[in-house]
Structure 1
Amino acid sequence: MPKVIYTEPDMNKKVKFDRGEMDERIVVIYVSADTPRDGETSTKREETADTAPNNGPGDQHSAFTPTQTRYNNLTKERDQLQTRYNNLTKERDQLQTSYNNLTKERDQLQTRYNNLTKERDQLQTSYINLTEERDQLQTSYNNLTKEKGNIQSSIVRRDGDTLTPVCTSSLLRRTWEESRQDCLERGADLVIINSRDEQTLLFSLHLTAWIGLTDSVTEGTWKWVDGTSLATGYWGAGQPNNSGLFYGQEDCVEIYYEQDDPVKTWNDDKCGTNHNWICEKAMYWYAKQPDNAGPTGDEDCAEIHEDQSPLKSWNDMSCDSKLNWICEKVF
C-alpha cells in the first residue's frame, strides 16, 4: 500500500530508480512559502528499491509490444499454415479417393475388355467352325445335287430307234424288290439291257447295281421285268452259279463293275441284298427326236404325232403351238 512521506524537498538531490522488487510510493511535496511555484502543490509517483514487482500497465505494454506482435503474427501464420495443411490433406485424400475409384474403374474396364476379348475369340472360333460346317454342308449339297442329277439325268441308250433315259442311284442301297418299287413310283422300272452298247454304257457308271433280270419265278429261267425272256446275257466268269451262302437263293441279277471286261459283269445274288439300282423309263420318240430344231430353239413340249408308228410317235415342239390335247384323270 502506498506510503505518504512529508519532507522538505531537496531540489538538488538526484533520484535513482531501480526496477527490482519495489514498493510504489507517492511522495507529497509541500513547497514553503519562501519558494512558491505558482501556488501549486506537486504530487510525484516515486518508485523505490522495494516497490511493486510489476511496472504500470503502460510501461509493460511499451516493453513487450514488438515481441507480442511477432508472437501474434507467428501464431496467425502457424494457423494459416495449419489451415493450408488441413486443406492439402483433405485435397490429398480426395485425390487418393479419386485415384482409387479410377483404379477400380480401370480394373472393371480391363475385366470387361478381357471378357469381350474372350467372347470375341469364342465367336471367332464359332464362326470358323460354322464356316467349315457350311463348307462341308455345301460340299454335301453339291454331292447330293450331283447324285440327284445322276438319279434324274437322262443317260441315253439306243434301242433300235428308241432313245431311253436311264435313272441311277449311287447314294442309296435297297433290296431288289425295294429298288424295283422305287423305279415303279418314278413311272419307270429296273433297267432292261438289250445290247452290248447299252451294257458298256451302264458299266461305265461304276456301280454295283440291280438290273431288271430275275429267275425268281422259275429257277434257271431268266426273265426281264417286262416279262420277256433273256436273249443275250453279259455274265461274269462262272455266273450265274446260284451258290450263295444259302444255295439256291440267288435269284436276282446285279451288274458288278469291278471286272476287267465291261461285257462280262453280271452276277446272280440274293434278292434281299442291299445294292444300288438302275431305273429305266421308256420313251417313244420317233427318229432323230427330240431335236429342238425349231426356229427359236424353244421346242420344250412334246406331242404325239399321228403319222408315226405307235411306239415311235413323240416329237418335241414349241409350247406355243396350237394342237389338240389329251387329259387323264387318276382314280
Structure 2
Amino acid sequence: MTALRPHAEQQYADELAELSATDDRPRPPGWRLSPQAVVTYLLGDGAKITPKYVGPRRLMEIAVATLATDRALLLLGVPGTAKTWVSEHLAAAISGDSTLLVQGTAGTAEEAIRYGWNYARLLAEGPSPAALVPSPVMRAMETGTIARVEELTRVPSDVQDTLITILSEKTLPVPELTSEVQAQRGFNIIATANDRDRGVNELSSALRRRFNTVVLPVPASAEEEVDIVTRRVAQLGRSLDLPEVPAAVEEIRRVVTIFRELRTGLTEDGRTKLKSPTGTLSTAEAISVLTNGMALAAHFGDGVLRPADVAAGIVGAVIKDPVSDAVVWREYLETVVREREEWRAFYRAARDA
C-alpha cells in the first residue's frame, strides 16, 4: 500500500541523500547535514533541490542556527504561514525523522510531553522501565533528535510548563523509578504557535525565555504568494494522483488576489477600502481551494480549471460566520468583482455558488 502523504524524509529522500553526499561542512553533533545544507534543503538550489519554503532566507538561517545551540525554536505566525511545513522539513533534514510529534490541543495531558504508563504492566509489576511509555519528547532526548510540538499555545498552561525542566536542564526526571533521562547531543524541540486561534494559552515568561522565536510572515507580495500556491498545488496534485489539469495561472492569481484584498481590507490598486471577514484567508486555504477546483475540473468538468471550479471553494473559505461574513462577501462581490470586466465569468459563478 502507498501512504497518502509520505513523511518529508521519505518524500524527499533523494534530495536529502544528494545533499548529504556533497556536504563537506561541519555538522553539529547528531545532525545529518550541516546548517548550510539544511538551509539549502529548505530554500532549494535552483537545480536538484526543490524549494520547500518561499520567503526570507535570513529567517531560515536564524531558525537553523537556533537549533544548533541549546535553545529551542518557536515558529510563530498566523494560520497558514507554513509553520508546520517548516518544522517538519527542519526535523527531516536535521534528524532524518520528523515523526516525533506532540499535537497540542486543549486536552493535551502532561503524559504526552513527559511519559505515561502501560497500566496493565504497572498493576502487574509495579513501576518498571518495561511499564513506562515514553513520549515523543522523551524518545527524542534518548536518541539525540528533534521533537516537534504543534500548536503549543493550545496546550493548557500547566502542561506547557512541563517543558521548562526539559529545556533548561536537558533532563527528564522519572521519580517513580528514581532515575532520569538525559538528553543526548542533537536533541532539541521545534514548537509552533499562533496568536489568532481561539483557545490560546499564553506561554509563561519562564517558558518563553527557553525559546528563540522566529515569526513567519504572510507572503510579502502577490507574486510571491502566487509562486507558493502554484508550487504546492502542483505537488498536491501529483501526490493525490489527480488527473493532470493544465496550469491555470489566471485562476490562481484570481484566488490569491481575492484572499489578499479581503485579508488586508484594501483592493490591489489601493483605491477601495474593504471589510475583512472573520477567517484568516491564509495561503494554505488558497492552496486547498485550488486543489479542490482541480479535482472538480478533472472529474466533473472538461479538464480545464475554470471560475466555476473555484467559486464555491472561495465562498466556503470566506464565509465562516454565516451572518457577518456573508455581508462582507456580498459587498465585495458587488462593489469589486462585478466592476472587473475580465472577472465577469467568476462573478456569475460566485453568485450561483
Q: TM-score, normalised by structure 1?
A: 0.24
Of Structure 1 and Structure 2, which has the larger fraction of its residues in strand?
1
Instruction: Look at both structures and tell me which one has the larger radius of gyration over its CA atoms.
Output: 1
| Larger RCO of the pair (alpha carbons < 8 Å, separation 6+) | 2
TM-score, normalised with respect to structure 2: 0.23
